[in-house]
Chain A
């Protein structure tokens, strides 16, 4: 057993180095190379002071924070049903998990098929109402938000459902016995208990959103998505250093936010001091 764990850890380590650490190293080197072979931070200066890049980063950040918060909130009822194993939980869980099979560009395509200029929604609207107001909805901020939410909500829900499943049922029964109705129990008992999981689900959704550029390439018109801008620098202008620097800035920012969220979540767990950490296996 010991040797098995050792071998597996080694394999995982090798995989992590090859698939993440080494490419990350290459990108980092590329970002400080600039035009010549001298290592310089000039490219970072260009990116961090460039109006266009910073505007894109700002817009993307605001958009992703908004959709992550919304996704996590929206996922709560879904997570409750799945976590407490109520009717339909198995179906909801498998639908949420199918989500993992879809890449970002696929979501863009699905949204265009649904809400584009010739999408299913327009056809339905034309058949029922004779109007075409929903034409092109995919290309609005609303359409982009729906696209992001469609991959954020299932994943938030899965994380939250894990935490809800580990809730001590006695606490909820006790709350009911003491006279708490549904909403009271939810707000005063359940939410505080799963607050660490909410923070985790929100920050995970945030990471997903910040990194996705597939939908942006196909449908983003109103919001300038930072990873898509990096892609354009890369393929449109062959500006590898700028694209690499943008990637490093994005990674640092997102990891920073995630780290901060984790610290916050840990503080909550310590403060709760009721039962085991809902995120760790008991």
Chain B
């Protein structure tokens, strides 16, 4: 054999050998487990260490992305489970993309956060709050914002980042909830959308990426994000902090479902059950996300969550029914600089 072909065959054999040793942990395909959201990298590490099964991290990040992927793969599902915001979980159920699965601790989940037909269930919730990078604000000689309205103030122009609601579930919930926080109703989304548009007009950005790392880097001085993503970085020593806006906050409900026709149904069932176990719910609580099974968490951990003066409760069913249309209106009115009333009238949510 020639020298080059010997080299080629040796390196080929080596790569095969190395490849096979790397795959001793079994992979479990799950969609939308972002490593920097709700500390999925910690959760997956714990699960892999315990069972040798490795759920896939950072695959189809974004609740909307995961939903789109499942819809596309309907005829030949590649994933067995998904994690997403519950309003999108309802959309998935309506689209026939998920199957019922009874998790062992189903009865311990509050009724408002579980589907009576077992198609979806909550695993945690998180208040959507304002995150700040104290170093960057200090450098700009700015006080920390204290309300949602502050983000529309010219002194914070261009400093704030939110996630794009057509991409992230958290952002979709924020797009829905800000309306109720600012005094809108189920039929009138103008207060909320006026805010979202003014947010962009004040130079702020809507991003197609998880914004928590951006806050830590200082690329975004202010973010709108789930409280846990900010506090877990604060624990690691990053110069970030949470601000509870004075007008009030709403929570994004996060949950999981089993995909219809799941190729790894048994493995994913075990994983789905584990996420509701005391062990996992404690890891979630340590990441400052509020576990759905509150009793699973020791009292001292539970006491670390930021206190909220005004919590706005959301109607999940109404959200699920309208979030698709609202995303359209958001694209038209906010992203494309259209007219808020016109966009909302088109979907019938511009008040009576």
Residues of A within 8 A of B (CB): 52, 112, 116-119, 135-136, 139, 217-218, 221, 224, 232, 234-238, 240
> Judging by beta carbons under 8 Å apart, are B64 and A235 in contact?
yes
A-B contact pairs, 10 of them (CB 8 A): A52-B332, A112-B219, A117-B219, A232-B331, A235-B65, A235-B68, A235-B167, A236-B166, A236-B327, A238-B67
- Closest A residue to B324 using CB positions: A237
> Judging by beta carbons under 8 Å apart, are B221 and A236 in contact?
no
Q: Taking A118-B218, A217-B208, A218-B208 as given, write out 17 further A-B residue pairs in contact, using a Cβ cutoff of 8 Å, ordered by the A residue number.
A: A116-B219, A117-B158, A118-B219, A136-B158, A218-B209, A224-B336, A232-B331, A234-B68, A235-B62, A235-B64, A236-B68, A236-B164, A236-B167, A237-B166, A237-B327, A238-B67, A240-B72
> Judging by beta carbons under 8 Å apart, are A232 and B219 in contact?
no
Q: Which residues of B contact A238 (CB under 8 A)?
A: 67-68, 71
Number of B interface residues, CB 8 Å? 28
Q: Which residues of A contact B158 (CB under 8 A)?
A: 117, 135-136
Q: Which residues of A contact B336 (CB under 8 A)?
A: 52, 224
Residues of B within 8 A of A (CB): 62, 64-65, 67-68, 71-72, 136, 158-159, 164, 166-167, 205, 207-209, 217-221, 324, 327-328, 331-332, 336
> Judging by beta carbons under 8 Å apart, are A236 and B64 in contact?
yes
> Judging by beta carbons under 8 Å apart, are A232 and B220 in contact?
no
Q: Which residues of B contact A217 (CB under 8 A)?
A: 208
- A109 CB to closest chain B CB, in angstroms? 10
- A35 CB to closest chain B CB, in angstroms? 14
Q: Which residues of B contact A224 (CB under 8 A)?
A: 336
- A30 CB to closest chain B CB, in angstroms? 10
Q: Which residues of A contact B209 (CB under 8 A)?
A: 218
A224 to B67, CA, bound (A): 24
Q: Which residues of B contact A240 (CB under 8 A)?
A: 71-72
A217 to B221, CA, bound (A): 20
> Judging by beta carbons under 8 Å apart, are A232 and B217 in contact?
no
Taking each of A112, A136, A221, A232, which has the highest tally of chain B beta carbons within 10 Å of its own beta carbon?
Answer: A232
A217 to B168, CA, bound (A): 13
> Judging by beta carbons under 8 Å apart, are B217 and A235 in contact?
no
Q: Which residues of B contact A136 (CB under 8 A)?
A: 158
A236 to B164, CA, bound (A): 10
Q: Which residues of A contact B327 (CB under 8 A)?
A: 236-237
Q: Which residues of A contact B332 (CB under 8 A)?
A: 52
> Judging by beta carbons under 8 Å apart, are A232 and B72 in contact?
no
- A128 CB to closest chain B CB, in angstroms? 16
Q: Which residues of A contact B207 (CB under 8 A)?
A: 218
- Closest B residue to A136 using CB positions: B158
- A260 CB to closest chain B CB, in angstroms? 31
Q: Which residues of B contact A218 (CB under 8 A)?
A: 207-209
A234 to B332, CA, bound (A): 16
- A279 CB to closest chain B CB, in angstroms? 31
Q: Which single member of B166, B218, B219, B328 contacts A235 (CB below 8 Å)?
A: B166
Q: Which residues of B contact A119 (CB under 8 A)?
A: 219
Taking each of A116, A136, A139, A236, which has the highest tally of chain B beta carbons within 10 Å of its own beta carbon?
Answer: A236
A135 to B139, CA, bound (A): 13
A233 to B136, CA, bound (A): 35
Q: Which residues of A contact B136 (CB under 8 A)?
A: 118
Leading 6 A-B pairs by shortest Cβ distance: A236-B166, A118-B218, A235-B68, A118-B219, A235-B65, A217-B208
> Judging by beta carbons under 8 Å apart, are B166 and A117 in contact?
no
Given contacts A236-B327, A237-B324, contact A117 B220 (CB under 8 A): yes
Q: Which residues of A contact B328 (CB under 8 A)?
A: 237
A217 to B208, CA, bound (A): 6
- Closest A residue to B136 using CB positions: A118
A119 to B67, CA, bound (A): 34
Q: Which residues of B contact A135 (CB under 8 A)?
A: 158
Given contacts A236-B64, A236-B167, A237-B166, contact A118 B71 (CB under 8 A): no
A118 to B67, CA, bound (A): 33
- Closest A residue to B165 using CB positions: A236
- A166 CB to closest chain B CB, in angstroms? 30
> Judging by beta carbons under 8 Å apart, are B64 and A118 in contact?
no
Taking each of B62, B65, B68, B164, which has the highest tally of chain A beta carbons within 10 Å of its own beta carbon?
Answer: B68
Q: Which residues of A contact B67 (CB under 8 A)?
A: 238
Q: Which residues of A contact B219 (CB under 8 A)?
A: 112, 116-119
A112 to B217, CA, bound (A): 11
> Judging by beta carbons under 8 Å apart, are B208 and A221 in contact?
no
A136 to B164, CA, bound (A): 18
A257 to B233, CA, bound (A): 49
> Judging by beta carbons under 8 Å apart, are A117 and B218 in contact?
yes
- Closest A residue to B200 using CB positions: A221
A240 to B75, CA, bound (A): 15
Q: Which residues of B contact A116 (CB under 8 A)?
A: 219
A117 to B71, CA, bound (A): 37
- A237 CB to closest chain B CB, in angstroms? 7
- A135 CB to closest chain B CB, in angstroms? 8
A221 to B206, CA, bound (A): 9
A117 to B220, CA, bound (A): 7
- Closest B residue to A51 using CB positions: B336
A119 to B72, CA, bound (A): 38
Q: Which residues of A contact B64 (CB under 8 A)?
A: 235-236
Taking each of A117, A119, A224, A237, which has the highest tally of chain B beta carbons within 10 Å of its own beta carbon?
Answer: A117
Q: Which residues of A contact B72 (CB under 8 A)?
A: 240
> Judging by beta carbons under 8 Å apart, are A117 and B221 in contact?
yes
A221 to B158, CA, bound (A): 12
A126 to B336, CA, bound (A): 34
Q: Which residues of B contact A117 (CB under 8 A)?
A: 158-159, 218-221
Q: Which residues of A contact B218 (CB under 8 A)?
A: 117-118
A78 to B207, CA, bound (A): 36
- B79 CB to closest chain A CB, in angstroms? 15
Q: Which single member of B62, B205, B217 contacts A118 (CB below 8 Å)?
A: B217
